[in-house]
Amino acid sequence: MTKLPNIANYVGNAMDMGVILVEAQSVIQMRLMGMAGLWSVDSKENSRMVTEKLEAMVQATTDVGQVTMAGGSPDEIAAAAIAPMRNATRANSERLTKNGAKLG
């Protein structure tokens, strides 16, 4: 028996994707400002840019596989793919925002 999708979950997934877009752009801006010496960033930030994406993608792939094999609905499968990316953008945004601009 096929599980029916929940329309509210589709809206939640769309909202999560919107937040990911906004956070990703702000993270890119802060990292570029860090490369220009205008924002305080950790010395490991450049390598983190690459490794975090791989970690999020592996986690998303694993989660999607588990939800799919458990018979999840399309909205649940999408949510499983979105969650690791959302966690990464949230963590990046919070971490980089705390650092702040270099003054003086």
pLDDT digits (tens, 9 = 90+) for 26-38: 999 999 999 999 9
What is the reported pTM? Answer: 0.86
pLDDT for 91 equals 96
- Give the pLDDT of residue 3: 73
Burial bucket for residue 96 (CB in 10 Å: 0-12, 13-18, 19+): buried
Contact yes or no for 95/26 (Cβ under 8 A): no
Q: DSSP 3-state helix, strand, coil percentages of the chain (rounded to 5)?
A: 75, 0, 20
Dihedral of alpha carbons 6, 62, 97, 17, sign = negative
C-alpha to C-alpha distance for 28 and 25, rounded to whole angstroms? 5
Looking at residue 2, what is its pLDDT?
Answer: 64
**Ranges in the chain, pLDDT < 70:** 1-2, 104
